[in-house]
Amino acid sequence: MRITGEGIWGPPDDPEEATRLLRRVVELGIDLIDTADSYGPEVSENLVAEALLPYPDELVIATKGGLRRTGPGGWPHDARPERLKECCEGSLRRLRLERIDLYQLHAPDPKVPYEDSIGALKELQNEGKIRHVGVSNVSMEQLEQARAIVDVVSVQNRYSLTERHSEDVLEACERAGIAFIPWFPLATGRLAEPGGVLDDLARAHDATPAQIALAWLLARSRVMLPIPGTSSIEHLDENVAATRIELSPSEVQEIGSASAGVTDAR
């Protein structure tokens, strides 16, 4: 998402830096890249292909369809079955793939029956154009609806220390062994301010508050797969280093308790 221009619109200011960033992702052993046709639009998928072809065998490319773009701030829904099939075909061309490993419905479309949108992804799977199906921005009811139609392997909802409204969805994913992919995972609010719990623990672990926030997410659940976006190799390296931080059970509880009731103002 962050390798595009300002407002997730148009090309990045420095395409060569975006290419270096993507190649650094693979160097670090990261084996899943999450993108979408609406990032740019189309810019992110094109950059992924240009930077990483031929793809390493172990690399999973996940993309999404179901949103249109009308400008830097415009993200209208369009998850009509025929539109989703067009989106998938476009992603296959741009990513230069014969089959997409993980294709996700970007968001439910209030103008389209949810079962119809999910049914289109099931048809694409049956045709061999996608391997696995994921959903995004869903409620418990929508997750159950989707699972009644297709095998759902991942859920991508907004979730962080300051945005915990998807706790019930996360718990359902834990029970079912479904990957939970939190977007905007680094929201920390006042927890990262001087004297806040993240600030204190960051100094104790010789880390940054953002790294502690990521470490907490990883400790929170075995199905958690954070996707912190970045346009900087420095920040990418910092994010990956968070996987080496081991929080004690008491620290995990302390962070969770401190974040209860803290709401992200974004």
Q: The domain spanning residue 133 has which CATH number?
A: 3.20.20.100
* Longest alpha-carbon distance in the chain: 55
The CA radius of gyration of the chain, in Å to the nearest whole number, is 18
Among candidate residues 156, 176, 211, the one where a domain is terminated? 156
pLDDT for residue 211 is more than 70: yes
Residue 76's pLDDT is what?
98
Same domain, 62 and 144: yes
| Residue 266 pLDDT class (50, 70, 90 cuts) | very low
Considering the domain boundaries, does residue 170 fall inside one? no
Average pLDDT over the chain, rounded to whole? 95
Beta carbons of 75 and 88 less than 8 angstroms apart: no
* 149 lies in the same domain as 233: no
Q: Indicate if 17 and 121 belong to the same structural domain.
A: yes
pLDDT at 116: 98
- Average pLDDT for 178-182: 98
Task: Tell me the mean pLDDT in the region 127-145.
Answer: 98
Same domain, 146 and 205: no
Of all residues in the chain, the percent with pLDDT exceeding 70 is: 98
Domain termination site, one of 156, 171, 199: 156
pLDDT at 187: 83
As annotated, the active-site residues are 39
Query: How are strands ordered across the β-sheet holding 130-136?
Result: 32-34, 60-65, 100-105, 130-136, 152-156, 179-180
What is the three-class DSSP state of 127? coil
Query: Looking at the domain assignment, is residue 245 inside a domain?
Result: yes
Burial class (CB in 10 A: 0-12, 13-18, 19+), 188: buried
pTM for the whole structure: 0.94
Residue 70 and residue 23 share a domain: yes
For the chain, what is the domain count?
2
Range of the domain at 56: 1-156
- What percent of the chain has pLDDT above 90? 92
